[in-house]
Structure 1
Amino acid sequence: MAFALMQGLILLIFPVTIFRSDLPSDGDNISITGRIYRIEEGESALLIYVRTLPDKNGKKKKVICHVKSETEYEIGNLVTVTGKCRHFAPATNDGQFDSALYYRILNLDYRITDAKCFVKDDSIRFYQNALYRIRRAFSGVYKNSLPSERAGVLCSMVLGQKKDVGDEIKSLYKMSGISHILAISGLHISLIGMAIYESLKKLKLKVFVSGSISVFFLISFGIMTGNSASAIRSIVMFSLFIIADVIGRTYDMLTACGLSGVALLMTEPLYMMHSGFLLSFGAVMGIALIMPVISGFFPKPDMTEKMIYDKSKKRILKEKIRDMVFSSLKMSISVTLATLPIQLWFFYGFATYGFLLNLIVIPLAGILLVLAIFGGCLSLILTSLGKVFLFPSSVLLFLYEEAAKGAMRLPFSYPVIGRPHPVSIAVYYVLLTCFCLYNFRLSDSRNKRGNHISILLPVLGIIALCLKLRTATTCTMIDIGQGDSLVIEDKYGANILIDGGSTSVKEAGKYRLIPYLQCHGITRIDYAFLSHGDKDHYSALIEIMETQKENRIRIKNLVLTHFGKTDETYDEVKSAAQKNGINVIYIDGGAKFSLPDADIKCIYPSKKTVAEGNDQSMVLLFTCNDTKMLFTGDLTEEKEGEALEKVKFPVDILKVGHHGSRYSSSEDFINKLRPKTSLISAGVNRYGHPSPYAIKRLENAGSDIYVTLYSGQLRVVFKKDRYEVNEYLK
């Protein structure tokens, strides 16, 4: 199992690209026929999961259909669905969520939007359909009985419906370290399974009968909630525990963990690249291998002699509570140590006080689940009676929220570290392994001091994970869709943002720019330059400003040209800056910003320049070592001549103006600049960007051309006497 986890980390570090040649073309109008095997309520449409009938090669596809209809569909219905085929989008930037890989792991091939669904055969699968109806009934009970935010948390915890959880709660739980309770985790499955099993045994049912009923219930629960990797792992391990109990054999956690891992990987090897799989199995490995070592630092007192001479029940209860707290603390520390690199790889930060907060959350989770399930069942019979049991659930969720908010008010509550280097991950696990082996071989009686000195090993490992060393200055053109955004990371720590916006990607800050910054551990933007007042250059910039507290990214200075003082197109971004305490600087041609390893000089517009719209674009010349890079915003050919007056020809790299528009990058402009490399930021658009005319002019000048639409993120690495361009999708 440890090998599988390491293999998963290797695959993440050196990812494979998923190519699918057997799918319909993206955007095609298609028609499929198949049976419904799952139904979910989406945010704006009903999500119907269809397993198609075999094609001419005997293969079946699994498709998500977004259906807006009042028709009642049942699991098992044979349906024909028509609509527009949409492929799941792959990641095109560092830090971006890879939908293509995620859904490939879940064995989903594509989705159909604007779908129309026609029932051809109304036969149903009674068992699965009954589970779907139970899930829908419980969801309705929670939503009708509790405030919307807490109802959403219960729907996520008990039913696996994450869509019902608000963004604010998701962010709070994630940053405080208790987001695991929002998923159908192994913890939930284990608590439910053991509660049922022990209850049935107390009813004097035979062990075999109690175990069989418990396992059947958990399998049904897993199917109802979507069979996540952690749920499957827990169900398999619980089943093996029951089998061991029935036949009178000793249950071995590592063996059960290994068998469940093999079972999952046999169905889908790509689970090794899935965060849920790695975190779930990593947590079990931590409990099985690290917790016994950590226990050596929490010696349990010998209660025998005390209990002979001290008959006080209060004293015994106090000792039991202390032992329970220590046990929870040991488990929390062990799981954190085992999964820390995985958390940083996927989420780029960690909750500093999460292991303490879980001392409250985990023990109460069992009570919360029992109350939620029991209250839901009673509400189906008598609404008022169910609410009596759901009210304490609401109180517990309120305590969770307040505890999380309290943790977030503490200093360094959620440091954004960034994705660790593969070498750092290897060093961390080597040091953690040495820590475990060293303490396994030492007994407390032989060398207590040695045990405590060995704590330095995991501490050094954590330092290795958090250590960020830049070996070169870089400039990255983010694939932000139809817009512009470039991030300069100076070798010695300075961070510059040039534009940040998109008109083709909704919430481009949330889904493209902020993940990139967090992935690279960037929490401070020294200067954010805004070329001009078009929304496709500042929409994501405003998102960063308005979510600085949540995303831990602080912009120190916003830099505008003199047009920003009077032109109303800048009002929205200026207002956001002032509201969030960001200093606004106005510059003109001649202004210079010195970085430790580079210089940025504004060469246009001058104080006397009169222009409107795109011709107000700030033009910047970036120099690192002997390499020159020119940023032209959306400048058109009408003002390119004025900008050229301040440029010493040639330049090495050109950020092509206006997304490669035919009305920018004129022949005279290109011939004078003679760029060796040209970078174009463009997404799917109706303007024809990049224009064939602009491309032809660049080709005639002998320039190497890179376009984010085809290459994804473009990263320029400036070395001592040269530079190189790395394409994300190549």
Structure 2
Amino acid sequence: MKNRPLLSVCLMVLCIIASMVVWGRERFIKELRPSPIERYAAEGDSITICGKVYRQEQKENCRMIYLKENSIYSNSKKFQESKIIIYTNSSPKLHIGNQIKVCGKVSFYEEARNPGNFDQKFYYQKQGIHGKVRSDDIQITDYKRNKLKDRLEKFRMNWQKMLQREMGERDGSALAAILLGEKSGMDQEMKELYQVNGIGHILAISGLHLSFAGLGVYRIARRMTGSYKAGGITGGILLCLYVMMIGMTVSVIRAWVMFVFRIGADITGRHYDMPTALAASAVLTVGIHPLYLYDGGFWLSFGAVFAVCTVIPVLENEMRCKSLCAGLGINVLLWPVILYNFFEIPVYSILLNLIILPLMSVVLTCGMIGSFIKMTGWIPGKWILWICRCILWVYDKCCVFTIKLPMARWVAGRPDKRRIFIYYLVL
């Protein structure tokens, strides 16, 4: 710790934030307090909203419009609400940054009714969203738009449509989830098949994606210019655009901050320290979204990298079979987290990931290169994307085979917190 002062500071700050979240609750965390729309409107009330569009999603049966900086009129009362979601079947052409007026009925997200069920209310609460409105009465009041974000949004949607057109609905949606983090159009059976086999992580934008997008360009630019600074700026700009396009999820924030530390170390001629970068990214993540401390994705994302720093080096010194070290080290550290959040463990996930992870680099490389070639109109782009389709077929067959093996899923239930503490103490 003496040689890592920033790591010490980050750990102290992280402990303070965690204490505020666990013991302070709503006194310190504004997302846990009733929002204005929860105080001044009831389920089914007719309201009028004036807000700014900051995101759009197209679902199978409706369209989701995310609004921020909202002024709301309800029951002769006017109040402000930071964020809200509009569900609609109307199709006015909206752009990021447009101001719109919406009239509709408000409703609220439901809490989990049984232990282990998806808690819809808490999921949106972490994002600062406390209500939703169903409406087809949408008017644009200000056509001013954020040109950069709007173009990135349009580019992402066109990219997803191109993949679905060239690879088919099922495989194209799966590759869109891998490259763009866009899971809304993905086949539900395919998604569940990946999750129960312990490879659902390939659908999350992770450090592997950002390393390919950022570090790849950084190294190419560095060799072409002979300058660490020019390479870092080029890679950093591309990575920022990619992050703005796909959104700031837990794993994206972590990978982005660690990338900045990596490039910063190269530019300044200093040693890159992974534990310090990991701690700094954790502080930034929970500093922006404190409730992510209750999010399973946060612990899985940071736990996997923490295993790389701690458990895996020990296993590599002790085991002869080096290929098993990474999968075993990560799983040993994450088993309690997986059990606590999902109540079961995919027994063969370590062996399955020995096949899945090496091929992921091929999927990312061929997916991105093939996409850009195809979007420029060159026919070879379709052939490159065909390689991704073949690999997805291999993923499917491996998952179907694995799930039929004896004891493929060990359902152990949620472990007691004291047992989890003892487990990590022993580890």
- 2:130 & 2:35 partners in 1: Cα distance? 11
Q: Is the alpha carbon distance of 1:175 and 1:39 closer, same or farther for their aligned partners in structure 2, counting shifts above 3 Å? A: same
Structure 1 residue 398 and structure 2 residue 419: aligned?
no
Matched residues, percent identical?
29
Q: Which residue of 1 aligns with 2:328?
A: 333
Q: Is the alpha carbon distance of 1:348 and 1:11 closer, same or farther for their aligned partners in structure 2, counting shifts above 3 Å? A: farther
Deviation at 1:236, TM superposition (A): 0.6
Q: Which has the higher helix share?
A: 2
Q: Which residue of 1 aligns with 2:342?
A: 347
- 2:378 & 2:48 partners in 1: Cα distance? 43
Structure 1 residue 385 and structure 2 residue 380: aligned?
yes
Letter in 1 for 2:369: F
Deviation at 1:198, TM superposition (A): 2.0
Deviation at 1:392, TM superposition (A): 0.5
**Preserved CA contact (<8 Å) 1:18 1:100:** no
After superposition, give the CA deviation of every residue in 1:198-240 in whole Å (9 maximum; x if it has no partner): 2222323521111112122222212211211111110011011
- 1:132 & 1:242 partners in 2: Cα distance? 27
Q: Is the alpha carbon distance of 1:14 and 1:405 closer, same or farther for their aligned partners in structure 2, counting shifts above 3 Å? A: farther
Structure 1 residue 20 and structure 2 residue 34: aligned?
yes
Letter in 2 for 1:84: K
Q: Which residue of 2 aligns with 1:254?
A: 275
- 1:89 & 1:200 partners in 2: Cα distance? 49
Letter in 2 for 1:415: W
Deviation at 1:171, TM superposition (A): 1.6
Aligned partner of 2:96 among 68, 75, 92: 75
Q: Which residue of 2 aligns with 1:310?
A: none
Q: Which residue of 2 aligns with 1:178?
A: 199
Deviation at 1:10, TM superposition (A): 12
After superposition, give the CA deviation of every residue in 1:536-556 in whole Å (9 maximum; x if it has no partner): xxxxxxxxxxxxxxxxxxxxx
**Preserved CA contact (<8 Å) 1:9 1:272:** no
Aligned partner of 1:369 among 357, 364, 368: 364
Q: Which residue of 2 aligns with 1:194?
A: 215
Q: Where do 1:241-640 residues align within 5 Å?
A: 241-298=262-319, 326=322, 328-382=323-377, 384-432=379-427
Q: Is the alpha carbon distance of 1:89 and 1:6 closer, same or farther for their aligned partners in structure 2, counting shifts above 3 Å? A: farther
- 2:226 & 2:152 partners in 1: Cα distance? 25
- 1:248 & 1:268 partners in 2: Cα distance? 32
**Preserved CA contact (<8 Å) 2:179 2:364:** yes
After superposition, give the CA deviation of every residue in 1:419-467 in whole Å (9 maximum; x if it has no partner): 11112211211111xxxxxxxxxxxxxxxxxxxxxxxxxxxxxxxxxxx
- 1:14 & 1:100 partners in 2: Cα distance? 20
Deviation at 1:282, TM superposition (A): 1.0
Describe the SS at the equivalent of 1:164.
coil
Q: Which residue of 2 aligns with 1:623?
A: none
Q: Is the alpha carbon distance of 1:133 and 1:66 closer, same or farther for their aligned partners in structure 2, counting shifts above 3 Å? A: same
After superposition, give the CA deviation of every residue in 1:282-331 in whole Å (9 maximum; x if it has no partner): 111111111111111235xxxxxxxxxxxxxxxxxxxxxxxxx82x5322
Structure 1 residue 107 and structure 2 residue 128: aligned?
yes
Q: Where do 1:704-719 residues align within 5 Å?
A: none
Describe the SS at the equivalent of 2:318.
coil
After superposition, give the CA deviation of every residue in 1:335-375 in whole Å (9 maximum; x if it has no partner): 11121111111111111111221122112212211211121
Structure 1 residue 203 and structure 2 residue 190: aligned?
no
Q: Where do 1:676-695 residues align within 5 Å?
A: none
After superposition, give the CA deviation of every residue in 1:64-109 in whole Å (9 maximum; x if it has no partner): 1112122211001111112111212112321121111111111223
Deviation at 1:8, TM superposition (A): 6.7
Deviation at 1:116, TM superposition (A): 2.4
- 2:199 & 2:23 partners in 1: Cα distance? 26
Structure 1 residue 40 and structure 2 residue 57: aligned?
yes
Residue ranges of structure 1 left out of the alignment (5+ in a row)? 300-324, 433-730
**Preserved CA contact (<8 Å) 2:90 2:136:** no
**Preserved CA contact (<8 Å) 2:35 2:81:** no
Q: Is the alpha carbon distance of 1:151 and 1:8 closer, same or farther for their aligned partners in structure 2, counting shifts above 3 Å? A: farther
Aligned partner of 1:30 among 44, 47, 65: 47
After superposition, give the CA deviation of every residue in 1:604-649 in whole Å (9 maximum; x if it has no partner): xxxxxxxxxxxxxxxxxxxxxxxxxxxxxxxxxxxxxxxxxxxxxx
Residue ranges of structure 2 left out of the alignment (5+ in a row)? 1-9
Deviation at 1:180, TM superposition (A): 0.3
Deviation at 1:26, TM superposition (A): 2.2
**Preserved CA contact (<8 Å) 1:5 1:272:** no
Q: Is the alpha carbon distance of 1:12 and 1:154 closer, same or farther for their aligned partners in structure 2, counting shifts above 3 Å? A: farther
Deviation at 1:194, TM superposition (A): 2.2
After superposition, give the CA deviation of every residue in 1:487-538 in whole Å (9 maximum; x if it has no partner): xxxxxxxxxxxxxxxxxxxxxxxxxxxxxxxxxxxxxxxxxxxxxxxxxxxx
Letter in 2 for 1:335: I
- 2:395 & 2:347 partners in 1: Cα distance? 17
Q: Is the alpha carbon distance of 1:127 and 1:102 closer, same or farther for their aligned partners in structure 2, counting shifts above 3 Å? A: same
**Preserved CA contact (<8 Å) 2:347 2:407:** yes
Q: Where do 1:95-174 residues align within 5 Å?
A: 95-174=116-195
- 2:328 & 2:25 partners in 1: Cα distance? 30
**Preserved CA contact (<8 Å) 1:8 1:273:** no
- 1:287 & 1:5 partners in 2: Cα distance? 22
- State the TM-score, normalized to the length of structure 2: 0.88
Deviation at 1:146, TM superposition (A): 0.9
Describe the SS at the equivalent of 1:80.
strand
Q: Is the alpha carbon distance of 1:357 and 1:6 closer, same or farther for their aligned partners in structure 2, counting shifts above 3 Å? A: farther
Deviation at 1:58, TM superposition (A): 8.8
Q: Is the alpha carbon distance of 1:14 and 1:266 closer, same or farther for their aligned partners in structure 2, counting shifts above 3 Å? A: closer
Deviation at 1:156, TM superposition (A): 0.7
Aligned length: 406
**Preserved CA contact (<8 Å) 1:5 1:282:** no
Q: Which residue of 1 aligns with 2:3?
A: none
Describe the SS at the equivalent of 2:192.
helix
Describe the SS at the equivalent of 2:409.
coil
- 1:214 & 1:265 partners in 2: Cα distance? 26
- 2:17 & 2:308 partners in 1: Cα distance? 20
- 1:174 & 1:384 partners in 2: Cα distance? 34
Q: Which residue of 1 aligns with 2:7?
A: none
**Preserved CA contact (<8 Å) 1:29 1:83:** yes
Q: Is the alpha carbon distance of 1:115 and 1:339 closer, same or farther for their aligned partners in structure 2, counting shifts above 3 Å? A: farther
Which structure's CA Rg is the greater one? Answer: 1
Deviation at 1:19, TM superposition (A): 4.6
Letter in 2 for 1:81: V
Q: Is the alpha carbon distance of 1:93 and 1:19 closer, same or farther for their aligned partners in structure 2, counting shifts above 3 Å? A: farther
- 2:182 & 2:23 partners in 1: Cα distance? 30
**Preserved CA contact (<8 Å) 1:81 1:118:** yes
After superposition, give the CA deviation of every residue in 1:559-601 in whole Å (9 maximum; x if it has no partner): xxxxxxxxxxxxxxxxxxxxxxxxxxxxxxxxxxxxxxxxxxx
Structure 1 residue 239 and structure 2 residue 260: aligned?
yes
What value does the CA root-mean-square deviation take over the aligned residues? 2.6
**Preserved CA contact (<8 Å) 2:50 2:100:** yes
Q: Which residue of 1 aligns with 2:105?
A: 84
Q: Which residue of 2 aligns with 1:549?
A: none
Deviation at 1:149, TM superposition (A): 1.6
**Preserved CA contact (<8 Å) 2:35 2:130:** no
